[in-house]
Amino acid sequence: MKFLPCLLVLAALSACTQLQPRPTLPDEFAVAPGQETPLDKATHDVEGQRPGQSAFRLVVEGTEAYVTRMQAARLAMRSLDVQTYIWHSDLTGLSFAHALLEAADRGVKVRLLLDDMDARAKNDGLAALSFHPNIDVRMFNPFASRRGKMGFISEGASSFGRINRRMHNKTWIADNRIAIAGGRNIGDEYFGASDEVNFVDLDFAMIGPVVRDASASFDKYWNSPSAYPMEALDAASVTKEGLEKLRTALVEHMKGAADSRYAVALRSNDAIQRMLKGDWPLQWATTYQFVSDDPLKVTMEKKDAKRTYVGSVLVPMIQATQKQASIISPYFVPGEEVTTAFTGMAKSGREVRILTNSLIANDVAAVHGGYSRYRKDLVEGGVQLWELKPLAGQKAESSLFGSSGASLHTKAFAVDTKTLFVGSYNLDPRSTWLNCEQGVLVENPILAAELEQIFAQQTAGDHAWRVTLNDKKLHWSDGKEAFDSDPKAGWGRRFQAWMTKVLHLDAQL
């Protein structure tokens, strides 16, 4: 009986935290590109010289990814549209927030769309930003409760089917002239700035008509019934006092970060200016596609083709492989159907190469348990498999692997050194059926060769273990050390992975 009061409290909290329908709002759309802003002037003529084409650059290194976003924000004079799954309150996250506030102060229209699973914890700061007349903030698939663990738990328990579906998209668009999209969230570990584990990640920087395609995708999410304005969720926190408090905190943050390597890089690296002048490598392509799931995916109940538009685009791309498919997926849970498809391709003489996280490198050990159910079948079927190490490295600009460790976060595919895909989509059931995802598909042999080079670097013995069979048992080797079980993983991680494997929780991974 002593648990009855707790159950009654949870029931009461649950009743009070049901999300109400979003208020009826007029649709809003990206500001059309013009010819007045620095980004307009830099891109208008070069786009005109290549009608129907768009330009792409693979952004691998974390400092470049940071500088590219910051410079885009500083050059913007008309609009900034930012969509992300995670936004941390750390060195890079606060610096980006300051850049958006500065842009809004000079008259730029800022639209910030965040998934609420992470954003709820930053409710007050985001509400404060929303008070600015030039900043609109919306939460995707939000919690009705805005604070406290009890509200979070009770709402998650009562509305799990809804809360379990998230917006995983990441896009940064300036003046509808330049866009950055790929795997990176906003936070130190995504830009190589963490003193702990950093993510190996990848973006596309883009100019041309593909930017307008990215804006159209952003608009679709912005106007969806699942995107709630902060004023509808917590109007009491959208105040002038909150904005001034946040402004003061961000100014102090920027002063304290003035000597960071990221601030130094921003002062010395003119990446976007060089790109726009033509002396920073860009590859032009006629055949490309910006793909994103329907934002209504989070409300769909059945596993139908409409629910996984990104997946439906990738399937024919991979099926069309003639010689070689290279796949980088940090959270890789192929399931029986994909496993059968990949092993069938390998048996037909086509190379299928996969890089994913090792158990020790995976930041979600449970996902590894789902993946491990299919690992032996993949290797037996001829699929070439590597698992990334949690590598130590240096925080140098040239390093791909951060400071004290690395976890794979890149989501990318390359086929026949001709076609490549970079985005937010993992080869797992969560990306396919639960989360909203997006990405960019491009036909360009030079870009595809660059991605193959990245694959080769990250699967080298210094960075990854090759998984093979030895006497019909799985075997890991980097050419120097060999293991007969998941290398260097502690019992806690092994137990989490084992539990997920035994319980067959693939659908949630």
Q: How far apart are CA 357 and CA 105, in angstroms?
A: 42
277 is catalytic: no
Q: Could you give the CA distance from residue 275 to residue 112 in angstroms, rounded to a whole number?
A: 25
Assess whether 170 carries a catalytic annotation.
yes
Residue 477 CB contacts under 8 Å (≥ 6 apart), including other chains: 465, 466, 468, 483
Q: Which of 411, 428, 486, 506 is catalytic?
A: 411
Active-site annotation holder among 98, 109, 132, 168: 168
**CA separation for the pair 344, 187 (Å, rounded):** 39
Q: Identify the active-site residue in 175, 201, 234, 428.
A: 175
Q: Which two tokens stand for residue 346?
A: 């390998």
Dihedral sign for Cα atoms in the order 165, 171, 174, 178: negative
First and final C-alpha spacing in the chain: 36
Q: Of the listed 98, 368, 389, 409, which one is catalytic?
A: 409
Catalytic residue among 98, 109, 170, 368: 170
Please state the separation of Cα 249 from the chain's center in Å.
27
Chain-centroid distance, C-alpha 140: 15
In single-letter form, the type of residue at position 365 comes to: A
416 is a catalytic site residue: yes
DSSP class of 87? B
Q: How far apart are CA 115 and CA 298, in angstroms?
A: 12
Residues 134/104, Cβ–Cβ less than 8 Å: yes
- Is 203 annotated in the active site? no
Catalytic status, residue 409:
yes
Catalytic residue among 90, 377, 416, 478: 416
Inter-residue contact 252 to 98 (CB < 8 Å) = no
Active site residue 122: no
Q: Which residues are catalytic?
A: 168, 170, 175, 409, 411, 416
